[in-house]
Amino acid sequence: MSPRVVVLDYGSGNIRSAERALARAGADVTVTADRAAALECDGLVVPGVGAFAACMAGIRAVKGDEIVGRRLAGGRPVLGICVGMQVLFDHGVEHGVDTPGLGEWPGTVEELHAPVLPHMGWNTVDVAPGSRMFAGVEGERFYFVHSYAVRAWTLEIQETSRTAAPLVTRATHGEPFVAAVENGPLWATQFHPEKSGDAGAAVLRTWVSTLAGA
């Protein structure tokens, strides 16, 4: 049976390409804001395009903040994509406006220091050692469309017998920034895997494969 995946529908545009890509990756996909479906599915995807503040307003309107928090408290998988990754951090600062995020990780989403913005197009990533997300595609390029990112990862967790330290993959556009994170049941990408060709498809297949025992 295919893992059941919900793409959280909170008004963010351009989610159908993610729906199709996840289906090709082997998931049984539903696009919905239904609370029960989002809580009970094997994997939840939080998409996002546009402004941080607008995405947070949409997420809170459908109680997505509560849904994500409850899933992670129970060790249930969540995947954030683009602004859907950014909102997982403490704050987003755009045009002088500081908007609280979901606070799953410390850090601030802010404008990149780069000669050309937005950062739009293909870029390589500096894969974290031991990454499962990028297994087999470590040297590939991924598709980015953004002007804002987390420039500094500040969470330090020591690996123990029970917990693994977060794996942080970075990319560079003008300066280094956080391109992906693997942190137990919470995975996230600043790039768009659904627009990243075969390499992005491999990332989604890997994530879907982790849901088999969810």
Number of domains in the chain: 1
The pLDDT of 179-207, averaged and rounded, is 98
The pLDDT of 183-196, averaged and rounded, is 97
182 is a catalytic site residue: no
Q: Are 95 and 41 in contact (CB under 8 A)?
A: no
Over 60: is that where the pLDDT of 203 sits?
A: yes
Q: Bridge partners of 169?
A: 180
Q: Which of 55, 82, 104, 119 is catalytic?
A: 82
82 is a catalytic site residue: yes
Q: How many CB atoms lie within 10 A of CB 112?
A: 19
Q: Bridge partners of 181?
A: 168, 188
Q: Tell me the per-residue pLDDT of 48-74, one tens digit each, with 9 for 90 and over.
A: 999 999 999 999 999 999 999 999 999
Residue 14, pLDDT score: 73
55 is a catalytic site residue: no
Determine the Cα–Cα distance for residues 74 and 95; give it in Å rounded to an integer.
Answer: 36
For residue 23, which phi and psi values (nearest 5 degrees)? Answer: -65, -40
- Domain with residue 155: its CATH number is 3.40.50.880
Range of the domain at 126: 4-213
